[in-house]
Amino acid sequence: MSQLEEENGTVAAVERVNWTETSPQALYGRLQTLAGNLWWSWHPEVVALFRDLDPVKWRQVDHNPIALLKGMNPEEVAERVSQMVMITRINQAHRRLKEYLSDTERTKNTWGGHNAGVLGSKPVAYFSAEFGIHESVPIYSGGLGVLSGDHIKGASGLGVPLVAIGLFYDQGYFKQHLDVDGYQQEEYLDTKVENLPMDPATGPDGNPITVSIDTRTGTLLAKVWLMRVGRVNLYLLDCDVDGNSPEDRELTSRLYGGDRRTRIRQELVLGVGGVKAIAALGITPGAYHLNEGHSAFAPLEVIRERMHGDGLSFDDALREVAQRTVFTTHTPVPAGHDRFDAELVEEHLGPLREQLSISHDQLMGLGRVEPQNEQESFCMTVTGLKLSRRANAVSSLHGHVSRRMWAHLWPWRVEEEIPIGHITNGVHIPSWIAHPMQQLFDRQLGGSWRGHLEDADMWRGIYEVDPGELWETHHALKSRLLEFVRRRLSRQCRRRNEDEAAVEAARSALDPSALTIGFARRFATYKRADLFLQQMDQIAQLVNDPERPVQFLFSGKAHPADEGGKSFIKRIANLRHDPRFAGRVVFVEDYDIDVGRHLVQGVDVWLNNPRRPLEASGTSGMKVVLNGGLNCSILDGWWAEAFNGRNGFAIGDGTQHVDDAITDERDAIRLHDTLVEQVIPCFYDRDADGLPQQWIAMMTESIATLAARFSAHRMVVDYVRHCYVPAAGGLSSEMP
Ligand SMILES: *Cc1c(COP(=O)(O)O)cnc(C)c1O
């Protein structure tokens, strides 16, 4: 045996001894390692491991394993581990994480290792203003953030080289509760940095990174955190540092708070600061993905790098940087496109503009549809479109809408030639599918289904699943949801100091056998959460039908400045005072990923009734599919391309009227009619065994036709093929 082999042998032996070491410190250390990478959050066995350490505390700490471990000492943990015989589970989870993170595993055994080679040493830099990864990391507000979280988890699973850049909000988005009148109250809580799975990011020299950004009115500083999300490093910029003014220290405290000036400063930190952070980390990206216009300043800083590093002219640098830049637009709603006036732009981009050797008018022109039009403000979406070679919308219908919306940017082109394609959104299956459903698939699809989430053929195996077993699994999930909702409702009553009778009523609210319809999302007014109320008396009849009752679960936050959205919440929440709806139409406060997960896993039907065509994609309905729920939706966003007549329900036929009031009135009637004519009869039509065979066939068809197509894995594969690889200089392939 050579000395080297002997040494290796020794190392291996030492490792083996370490593995079985059960000292409290060793166990505690392994649990801390697991808690330090958000990989645990999409592995139900690992979640269960933390929960089993102390189920009560687990709930109290909002499912945060770092906080949980801080509340126990190593001896207590060891005691519990031996009581519950958890040692093997801990070691297994720890070993799986280590293997998952190893380089050889990624390059040899992942899709990205084989298909994203050109990105190997030059990863994608993915920018987003919010990331929704888990409820214990509150740096998201809604669909955009959850999509970003699902995108990076998908990239991690596929082994696609990618780093993500965002902002760290120490107060995040608000916690919601309703006052006695049903009016939304917002509360901002400080997140304890030490309880999050992140550390200061360090540069090649091992020192923590701080970036500085010059403005006309002073220099902004931001430190950089590293959060680990499986194989993906998420870098979060944070302005709470010494050297910033007290006001600037709070710049990144809250998500989507503050005025226009706060907003442009946040976006400056995200875009320009983000690119500086990447440089300080020693990373050279092969492609830049601007997820939404918030980060559209980023290419300007990359252009500066190229001009100063490689001596390029502004025009040449712009051309090269645009070639590497991918831009995704997310909404046709005008308020969703940030605009800034000339003074704000000059104050914040002035120093950078001088380094780019361009005039103020030239800079403003990049953010205007008509560059010379001084009446036009600076639009981040326009900037994103002009500074990227590849741009996309987030569903097929949204692609059409976006091409029409931005056609005037390319006046010489016909609409079909407007260079905006589409890549439809998808959801990260392991994060949204309930554990019992996974176990059912383990039994029925074979153990390797998890490695083939984007493979439509694999999902066809669902046709072989026993209908009774699928229905039973769904029913168990529905019971779990109703338990969760009752617990939340009684807590809401107690917080409002209501009497014991009310708390008791909340504990027995809802009927486990009734058709249960869920609606949860941001309460933006175009999503029309209140649409069903236009048919209030008819809906009351459905809710009170003694044979075939229907019940509704609502949840969602309105933006603090959106009085319209808040009034929707109030109307719906106050239905609890109407005897026709009490205990049958309920509002669950403080919508977040946790509430969302429970709802999508347990409802029979997911209701989606936006004003077409304003829902660019929508993703919550995709999460429902995985758990056997059926969609009942306006033909907007993803549903316009997903619905095939057998995999769910369509409200209306996709027509819209120029007058919103008429559209709303029509859609309300169509919603009611769809429920009465299709959804309710199908759900209550039972065979001799009490099974709704037709309904179950629809659940099966929904999973078979939609799970793969609307998965984050399919989405990330599309981005790699159509955007990232060509942007990084690999072979091009056309976007739809
Ligand atoms: C999935 C999700 C959303 C997105 O909902 P839409 O259907 O796109 O409106 C919003 N918020 C949370 C917490 C989610 O999990």
Of 735, 709, 713, residue with least CA distance to 724: 735
Mind listing the pLDDT tens digit for each residue in 329-376? 999 988 889 999 999 999 999 999 999 999 999 999 999 999 999 999
pLDDT of res. 238 = 98
CA-nearest residue, atom 2 of ligand 1: 143
pLDDT of res. 18 = 57
CA-nearest residue, atom 11 of ligand 1: 142
Instruction: Check which CATH number belongs to the domain holding 262 and give it.
Output: 3.40.50.2000
Q: Are residues 437 and 418 in the same domain?
A: no
Find the mean pLDDT for residues 72-99: 94
Rounded to an integer, what distance in angstroms lies between the CA atom of residue 377 and that of residue 240? 30
Confidence of residue 688 (pLDDT cuts 50, 70, 90): very high
Q: Are residues 461 and 536 in the same domain?
A: yes
- Is 625 a domain residue? yes
Mind listing the pLDDT tens digit for each residue in 394-410? 999 999 999 999 999 99
> Ligand 1 pocket test: which of 173, 174, 431, 521 has the largest number of ligand atoms within 8 Å of its C-beta?
521
User: Which atom of ligand 1 is found nearest the CA of 621?
Assistant: 7
Interval between CA 698 and ligand 1 midpoint (Å)? 23
What is the SS3 assignment for 212-262? EEEECCEEEEEEEEEEEECCEEEEEEECCCCCCCHHHHCCCCECCCCCHHH
Give me the residues paired with residue 200 across strands. Answer: 225
Read off the pTM: 0.96
pLDDT of res. 736 = 63
Confidence of residue 445 (pLDDT cuts 50, 70, 90): confident
Find the mean pLDDT for residues 10-16: 40
Helices (H) and strands (E) in the chain, counts: 34, 20
DSSP 72-102: S-HHHHHHHHHHTT-HHHHHHHHHHHHHHH-
- Taking the CA atoms of residue 73, residue 78, residue 79 and residue 83 in that order, the dihedral angle to the nearest 10 degrees is 140
Interval between CA 247 and ligand 1 midpoint (Å)? 32
Q: Of 36, 70, 101, which one is at a domain's C-terminal end?
A: 101
Confidence of residue 6 (pLDDT cuts 50, 70, 90): very low
Q: Is residue 437 a contact partner of residue 626, using CB atoms and an 8 Å limit?
A: yes
CA-nearest residue, atom 12 of ligand 1: 142
Mind listing the pLDDT tens digit for each residue in 297-317? 999 999 999 999 999 999 999
Interval between CA 566 and ligand 1 midpoint (Å)? 18
Say whether 634 sits in a helix, a strand or coil.
strand
Q: Are residues 316 and 440 in the same domain?
A: no
Interval between CA 158 and ligand 1 midpoint (Å)? 23
Mind listing the pLDDT tens digit for each residue in 225-237? 999 999 999 999 9
pLDDT of 5 above 70: no
pLDDT of res. 10 = 39
Report percent pLDDT > 70 for the chain: 96
Mind listing the pLDDT tens digit for each residue in 459-482? 999 999 999 999 999 999 999 999
Q: Is residue 43 a contact partner of residue 93, using CB atoms and an 8 Å limit?
A: yes
pLDDT of 7 above 50: no
Q: Of 75, 101, 127, which one is at a domain's C-terminal end?
A: 101
Rounded to an integer, what distance in angstroms lies between the CA atom of residue 343 and that of residue 261? 10
Interval between CA 607 and ligand 1 midpoint (Å)? 13
pLDDT of 258 above 90: no
- Is 290 a domain residue? yes
Interval between CA 637 and ligand 1 midpoint (Å)? 13
pLDDT of res. 3 = 39
Q: Is residue 433 a contact partner of residue 47, using CB atoms and an 8 Å limit?
A: no
Find the mean pLDDT for residues 473-498: 96
Of 415, 361, 425, 368, residue with least CA distance to 392: 425
Say whether 68 sits in a helix, a strand or coil.
helix
User: Which atom of ligand 1 is found nearest the CA of 591?
Assistant: 13
User: Which atom of ligand 1 is found nearest the CA of 618?
Assistant: 8
CA-nearest residue, atom 4 of ligand 1: 143
Interval between CA 674 and ligand 1 midpoint (Å)? 23
User: Which atom of ligand 1 is found nearest the CA of 147?
Assistant: 1
Q: Which residue has the higher pLDDT, 512 or 3?
A: 512
CA angle 151/155/161 to nearest 5° reads 130
**What is the number of domains present in the chain?**
3
CA angle 465/471/474 to nearest 5° reads 110
pLDDT of 567 above 50: yes
Find the mean pLDDT for residues 98-121: 92
**Which domain does 470 fall in, by range?**
429-710
Residue 249 token pair:
């220290």
User: Which atom of ligand 1 is found nearest the CA of 140?
Assistant: 13
Find the mean pLDDT for residues 495-507: 93
Rounded to an integer, what distance in angstroms lies between the CA atom of residue 21 and that of residue 247? 50
Q: Is residue 520 a contact partner of residue 527, using CB atoms and an 8 Å limit?
A: no
Q: Is residue 526 a contact partner of residue 610, using CB atoms and an 8 Å limit?
A: yes
Q: Are residues 60 and 171 in the same domain?
A: no
Q: Are residues 477 and 371 in the same domain?
A: no
Q: Are residues 71 and 172 in the same domain?
A: no
- Is 157 a domain residue? yes
Q: Are residues 151 and 89 in the same domain?
A: no
Largest CA distance in the chain: 86
pLDDT of 9 above 60: no
pLDDT of res. 11 = 38
Interval between CA 600 and ligand 1 midpoint (Å)? 10
> Ligand 1 pocket test: which of 619, 622, 715 has the largest number of ligand atoms within 8 Å of its C-beta?
619
Say whether 529 sits in a helix, a strand or coil.
coil
Rounded to an integer, what distance in angstroms lies between the CA atom of residue 560 and that of residue 257? 9
What is the SS3 assignment for 584-629? CEEEECCCCHHHHHHHHHHCCEEEECCCCCCCCCCCHHHHHHHCCC
Confidence of residue 416 (pLDDT cuts 50, 70, 90): confident
Rounded to an integer, what distance in angstroms lies between the CA atom of residue 409 and that of residue 403? 10
Find the mean pLDDT for residues 250-258: 93
Q: Are residues 364 and 437 in the same domain?
A: no
CA-nearest residue, atom 8 of ligand 1: 618
Supply the DSSP symbol for 265.
H
User: Which atom of ligand 1 is found nearest the CA of 427?
Assistant: 1
Amino acid at 317: A
Rounded to an integer, what distance in angstroms lies between the CA atom of residue 271 and that of residue 266? 9
Interval between CA 591 and ligand 1 midpoint (Å)? 10
Find the mean pLDDT for residues 544-571: 97
Q: Is residue 203 a contact partner of residue 280, using CB atoms and an 8 Å limit?
A: yes
Q: Are residues 146 and 61 in the same domain?
A: no
Interval between CA 609 and ligand 1 midpoint (Å)? 14
Q: Are residues 78 and 132 in the same domain?
A: no
Q: Is residue 240 a contact partner of residue 255, using CB atoms and an 8 Å limit?
A: no
Interval between CA 522 and ligand 1 midpoint (Å)? 7
> Ligand 1 pocket test: which of 153, 522, 527 has the largest number of ligand atoms within 8 Å of its C-beta?
522
The Cβ of residue 674 has, within 10 Å, a number of other Cβ atoms equal to 20
> Ligand 1 pocket test: which of 292, 424, 519, 620 has the largest number of ligand atoms within 8 Å of its C-beta?
620
Report percent pLDDT > 90 for the chain: 91
Rounded to an integer, what distance in angstroms lies between the CA atom of residue 724 and that of residue 728? 6
Whose tokens are 């950089």? That residue is: 224
Amino acid at 365: G
Interval between CA 588 and ligand 1 midpoint (Å)? 15
Interval between CA 223 and ligand 1 midpoint (Å)? 30
Confidence of residue 1 (pLDDT cuts 50, 70, 90): very low
Residues 6+ apart with CB under 8 A from 680: 515, 542, 548, 550
Whose tokens are 């189920």? That residue is: 55
Burial of 460 (0-12, 13-18, 19+ CB in 10 A): middle
> Ligand 1 pocket test: which of 42, 146, 330 has the largest number of ligand atoms within 8 Å of its C-beta?
146
Find the mean pLDDT for residues 646-659: 95
Confidence of residue 15 (pLDDT cuts 50, 70, 90): very low
Of 551, 607, 555, residue with least CA distance to 584: 551
Rounded to an integer, what distance in angstroms lies between the CA atom of residue 218 and that of residue 202? 25
Q: Are residues 439 and 545 in the same domain?
A: yes
Amino acid at 233: N
- Is 736 a domain residue? no
**Pairing mode, if any, of strands 218-229 and 210-215?**
antiparallel
Q: Is residue 224 a contact partner of residue 237, using CB atoms and an 8 Å limit?
A: yes
Rounded to an integer, what distance in angstroms lies between the CA atom of residue 393 and that of residue 331? 8
CA-nearest residue, atom 6 of ligand 1: 618
Residue 22 token pair:
């059960």
The Cβ of residue 466 has, within 10 Å, a number of other Cβ atoms equal to 12
Supply the DSSP symbol for 578.
S
pLDDT of 507 above 80: yes
Mind listing the pLDDT tens digit for each residue in 115-163? 998 898 899 999 999 999 999 999 999 999 999 999 999 999 999 999 9
Q: What is the mean pLDDT of the chain?
A: 94
pLDDT of 19 above 60: no
pLDDT of res. 334 = 83
Cis peptide before 204 (omega within 30 of 0): no
Q: Is residue 225 a contact partner of residue 34, using CB atoms and an 8 Å limit?
A: no
- Is 733 a domain residue? no
Confidence of residue 20 (pLDDT cuts 50, 70, 90): low
Interval between CA 622 and ligand 1 midpoint (Å)? 10
Interval between CA 519 and ligand 1 midpoint (Å)? 10
Start-to-end CA distance of the chain, whole Å, equals: 59
CA-nearest residue, atom 3 of ligand 1: 143
The Cβ of residue 586 has, within 10 Å, a number of other Cβ atoms equal to 24
Q: Is residue 265 a contact partner of residue 291, using CB atoms and an 8 Å limit?
A: no
- Is 732 a domain residue? no
pLDDT of res. 732 = 59
- Is 69 a domain residue? yes
Interval between CA 457 and ligand 1 midpoint (Å)? 27
Residue 439 token pair:
């176990």
Q: Are residues 317 and 452 in the same domain?
A: no
Pocket of ligand 1 (CB under 6 A): 142-143, 146, 521, 592-593, 596, 618-620, 623
- Is 19 a domain residue? yes
Residue 162 token pair:
């990618």
